[in-house]
Amino acid sequence: MNQINRVAIVGGTHGNEFTGAYLIQKFAQFPHLITRPSFETVSLLANPKAFAARRRYVEKDLNRCFLKQDLADATRNSYEELQAKSIQNTLISNGDKADFILDLHSTTANMGLTIILVNSHPLNLKLAAYLSQINPLVRVYRCSFKSVEENPFVNSLCELGFMIEVGPIAQSLLKATLFQQTEELVHTVMDYLEQFNQGEIPSTKETLILYDHLSDVDYPKKQDGTIFGMIHPELQDKDYQALNPGDPIFLTFDDQTIVYQGTSTVWPIFINEAAYYEKGIAMCLTQRQQINI
């Protein structure tokens, strides 16, 4: 792509993640903050009902409603499924297609400032590398899907763009530091895209540290599905830190330690994310690697 004409900033995809939702409200009140000369910028509060109710979702996780077959399925009619179709129409189907989608999230896990890539488009990689270069607090997590059809996230609607995930922060809470850091990242992304349109892409280092998704790990559970353990104190808040075979990962309610039984070092993230209890995810395991861009 030689020109980006329309950028969409999305927040409140999960209604109890206030950082993105309130940034969208701020941008609606002060649109000059996200206005750049060479492209149109639109801001979107993705799940207004969930935001008003201070809940992650009303009926179904909106950020799992964007599978292409689901968007095309007329029988999908829950509130979030209909909202996903409306967002698709707004950002993709009504003539002014978004060329870049930035989706703002927050997490209860100690993820700091994380860029979540859903594909490996060169522009996404270069922009992620630039962000991590100018801000050493930024880490880049890649959960690439084998095909666009397998991506259920808002970012499936557009090849360019990614999620910004910040934390730790409790649900339905604002924290000024994370709010400001997220807004600063948004402004930096906007400035980068403006420079891209002017043919003046900022130079970046030739390599990028990526944390590639390997697998999800569930909590220890009984046969009836009830949890009988929790994140071990030695692992809690250790997102992006090396986990070696034999290291503690869970502590059972009868004070027994469960250790990591893998055969190689991994880097866990989203450790003890509150919203993932219902999804059966205690943490995501990643592989840390350096790639050439």
- Residue 141: name the closest of 243, 7, 235, 267 by CA: 267
Report CA torsion sign: 111, 277, 62, 44: negative
> Which one has a higher pLDDT value, 84 or 94?
84
pTM of the predicted model, to two decimals? 0.96
What pLDDT, in 10s, does the model give residues 186-238?
999 999 999 999 999 888 888 999 999 999 999 999 999 999 999 999 999 99
What pLDDT, in 10s, does the model give residues 259-283?
999 999 999 999 999 999 999 999 9
Q: Quick count: other Cβ atoms within 10 Å of Cβ 58?
A: 16
User: Three-state DSSP class for 192?
Assistant: helix
Q: Return the pLDDT at 229.
A: 98
Rounded to an integer, the average pLDDT of 103-121 is 97
Residues 50 and 62: beta-carbon distance below 8 Å? yes
Q: Return the pLDDT at 205.
A: 82
Q: Return the pLDDT at 170.
A: 98
Q: Which CATH number fits domain 209-292: 3.40.50.970, 3.30.479.30, 2.20.25.160, 3.40.50.1370?
A: 2.20.25.160
137-to-24, 115, 124, 134, 181 alpha-carbon distances in Å: 23, 11, 18, 9, 10
On average, the pLDDT of the chain sits at 96
What pLDDT, in 10s, does the model give residues 160-179?
999 999 999 999 999 999 99
What pLDDT, in 10s, does the model give residues 241-253?
999 999 999 999 9
CATH 3.40.630.10 segments of the chain: 6-205
CATH 2.20.25.160 segments of the chain: 209-292
Q: Return the pLDDT at 213.
A: 97
Q: How far out from the chain centre does Cα 144 lie?
A: 12
Q: Return the pLDDT at 145.
A: 75
What pLDDT, in 10s, does the model give residues 118-148?
999 999 999 999 999 999 999 999 997 766 7
Q: Which CATH number fits domain 6-205: 3.40.630.10, 3.40.50.300, 1.10.3720.10, 3.90.1200.10?
A: 3.40.630.10
- Residue 40: name the closest of 11, 8, 10 by CA: 8
Q: Return the pLDDT at 204.
A: 83
- Residue at 132: amino acid letter: S
Q: Return the pLDDT at 94.
A: 67
Q: Measured between alpha carbons, how far apart are the two ends of the chain, in Å?
A: 17
- Residue 34: name the closest of 202, 185, 255, 237 by CA: 185
Helical (H) or strand (E) element with 217: strand 207-217
> How far apart (Å, rounded) are the C-alpha atoms in residues 154 and 84?
8
Q: Is 90 exceeded by the pLDDT of residue 284?
A: yes
Name 217's Cβ contacts closer than 8 Å, sequence gap at least 6. 249, 268, 281, 282, 283, 284, 285
